[in-house]
Chain A
Amino acid sequence: MFRRLMNSLRRKQLEAEIQEEIEFHRSQTAGSFGNVTAIQEQTRDASAIVWLETFVQDVRIAFRLLRRTPSLTGIALLSTALSVGATAVVFTAVKAVLLKPLPYSRPSELVQLRTRFTGAAPSHNDWVFWNDTQEIVRRTRTLRFVGIYGNAVFDLGGGAYPPKHSTVFESLPAYFPPSGFRPC
């Protein structure tokens, strides 16, 4: 295969060699000889990677045709680029959100605790009373580690109304174990 690739690359030299070889043969025979050109072509095709050469030719024709219609080529290129970009963006998001496991040692066993109030509609709020968290930490037999996080809103001052503020995610390190479990 490697030899064939090399032969495809040094095409002129190969053709000259084949011609010389067949000329030699012809010089030795007194009788009739087949179609020299056909024999040379067949020999050449057996020596090189024909599909690679025709592929290169096809690519060149394609480029020539594309250059002849620049506006169409531009639109085609632009839409291809946009769709490739969009696909990449969507897949990156899907990978980060859905496919990549969370950076904990056993992400499938991770649970989030929420408070549900009897009589109230189910809520997506993730908050738990501080005292409840302390009870859970003290009494759990199901959970190996309990981590607690909270939001804090800091007033950034400046006297503006409504006040400029910053929402901060704070975790309480005392409740995260020394190894095998890290908040992200």
Chain B
Amino acid sequence: MPKDKLQGTLDLLVLQTLARGTQHGYGITCHILAASGQQLRVEEGSLYPALRRMESAGLIKAEWARSENNRRARYYQLTKKGAKLLAEETRSWEARIAAVRAFLEFA
């Protein structure tokens, strides 16, 4: 999928990924790629600024921990505020999809 179509949905993807548990940046890109059937490739240049921005906004929090291969990695975790926003964003995304579908199917 082209990069510009991901704009605005990146937060949703990250929040949804973290709703499954804490994860580091690399793990987030892997999950998004796998769960989208290799369709959504998040670029590092978008991901890390977005993570910092969301951290500043209090949607996620981060701490350093050991990764699976025993290296220090920064693990991100959903906050209450983030979980609330995820629910809202999911609803609004579905409403938008439904609206566009209804429009396209209008005969």
Contact = CB atoms under 8 A, between A and B. Distances in A.
A17 interface: yes
Nearest to B49: A46
Interface in B82-102: none
Mostly helix, strand, loop or mixed at chain A's interface? helix
A47 B52 contact: yes
A34 to B, nearest CB: 5
Nearest to A23: B71
A49 B25 CA distance: 22
Given A34-B45, A39-B45, A42-B45, A21 B56 contact: no
A19 to B, nearest CB: 11
Contact of A24 (B29, B50, B55, B72): B72
Mostly helix, strand, loop or mixed at chain B's interface? helix
**Chain B interface size range:** 20 to 34
Contacts, number: 58
B53 A21 contact: no
Contacts of A39: 44-45, 48
B71 A18 contact: no
Contact of B48 (A1, A4, A21, A27): A21
10 shortest A-B CB distances, which residue pairs?
A46-B49, A43-B48, A47-B52, A46-B52, A25-B26, A28-B26, A42-B49, A21-B74, A39-B45, A46-B53
Interface of B: 24-26, 29, 43-45, 48-53, 55-56, 67, 71-74
